[in-house]
Amino acid sequence: MAGFAVFMTIVTYGFLFIVLATIASITLVLFAKKRVPRDAHQRRAFLVVCGIAPFVGLLWLIAAILIHVQISNKWAHQDCGLSGDPYVTLPNGYVLGSLNTYSGYIVAPGFNTDAPFTGPGYVRSLIDIQWPGDYFVGTYSDEGNKQMRFRFNTRDRSIQTSDTGISVSFEQVQTLVHQDANSYWSLYAQYRHHWPNYILAFLILAGEGAIVLVLWRCWAMLQRRVAEI
């Protein structure tokens, strides 16, 4: 469901940006037509530039986001912030994530989560988690909606579990993972890198600024040529 929600968000914002680019394009062309004499040299070329500039800006925005995705995945080793399956890589190489934003997991390097709730190198359906030294400790919910304790030894990847005697519904689990002080989302936020977002902001500002600068210079050059006539 979260993946579909992300898809629909992208489609919605994509349609909105196309509409905004179209409005900006029409506005720029109408503005240029009123300000530039019909017999001005290169008037038509300038109108074309005004018309395509907003769409070039939109394409650059898309390119910047795609670059951001690669930087986040390949360099920061985390999701880009738009994923339906967010994750971060901890300093010890373990990956902490949330499948479809509902089911938290911790998994050792080179391992994958599987059908059991605990297995070689992983624990899934996390509720909360702490990382004191060489161990991950916390709780998870099993197939019987029971809240289970676990102790994950990162040195030999052994996992010890025990029943807390507490039953929790899916709704209760989601409340706990978003409100509990030791929620896996808290550890996720603690180790999430923010510098990819700064690079994204720089890329957007630099690219869009360059487009505005080119448009401004074309306008200034055209105005000088009109004044010389």
Same domain, 36 and 72: yes
pTM for the whole structure: 0.86
> C-alpha dihedral over 5, 6, 7, 11, to 10 degrees?
100
* Helix (H), strand (E) at residue 161: strand 159-167
Residue in this structure with the two tokens 């929620």, named with its chain if needed = 183
In a domain, 161, yes or no: yes
Residue 45 is assigned to a structural domain of this protein? yes
* Mean pLDDT, rounded, for 152-163: 94
Any domain includes 166: yes
Is residue 25 domain-shared with residue 98, that is, in the same domain? no
183 and 117 share one domain:
yes
Q: Which two tokens stand for residue 49?
A: 């530039």
Question: In this predicted structure, what is the pLDDT of residue 41?
Answer: 65
**Does residue 124 share a domain with residue 102?**
yes
Average pLDDT, rounded, for the chain: 89
**Is 81 a domain residue?**
no
The reply to whether 72 and 99 lie within a common domain is no
Q: Is the pLDDT of residue 3 over 90?
A: no
pLDDT in tens, 177-223: 988 899 999 999 999 999 999 999 999 999 999 999 999 988 887 77
**Which burial class, exposed, middle or buried, applies to 216 when counting CB atoms under 10 A from its CB (0-12, 13-18, 19+)?**
exposed
Indicate if 131 and 200 belong to the same structural domain.
no
pLDDT of 122: 95
User: Are 68 and 133 in a shared domain?
Assistant: no
Domain check: are 134 and 172 in the same one? yes
Between the CA of residue 97 and those of 11, 39, 58, 83, what are the distances in Å?
Answer: 25, 62, 31, 11
Rounded CA-CA distance 39/226 in Å is: 9
- Total domains in the chain come to 2
Residue 139 inside a domain? The answer is yes
Domain-located, residue 82: no
CA nearest to 226, candidates 35, 63, 97, 45 = 35
| Distance in angstroms (rounded) separating the CA atoms of residues 100 and 116 | 17
142/223 same-domain check:
no
Half-sphere exposure of 104 (CA within 13 A, CB side): 23
DSSP letters of 90-121? Answer: -TTS-EEEEETTTEEEEE-TT----SSSEETT
Tell me the C-alpha distance between 37 and 46, whole Å: 12
- The answer on 95 and 174 residing in a single domain is yes
Asked whether 64 and 50 are in contact (CB, 8 A), the reply is no
More confident residue, 68 or 8: 68
∠ CA 98-101-102, nearest 5°, is 90
The answer on 155 and 95 residing in a single domain is yes
pLDDT value of residue 31: 87
CA 68 to CA 80: how far, in whole Å?
7
Residue 96 lies inside a defined structural domain of this protein:
yes
- 207 inside domain: yes
Backbone angles phi, psi at 122, to 5 degrees: -155, 155
pLDDT tens track for 143-153: 878 999 999 99
Judgement on whether residues 61 and 120 belong to the same structural domain of the protein: no
| Structural domain boundaries, residue 66 | 2-76+195-228
Rounded CA separation 176/1 (Å): 20
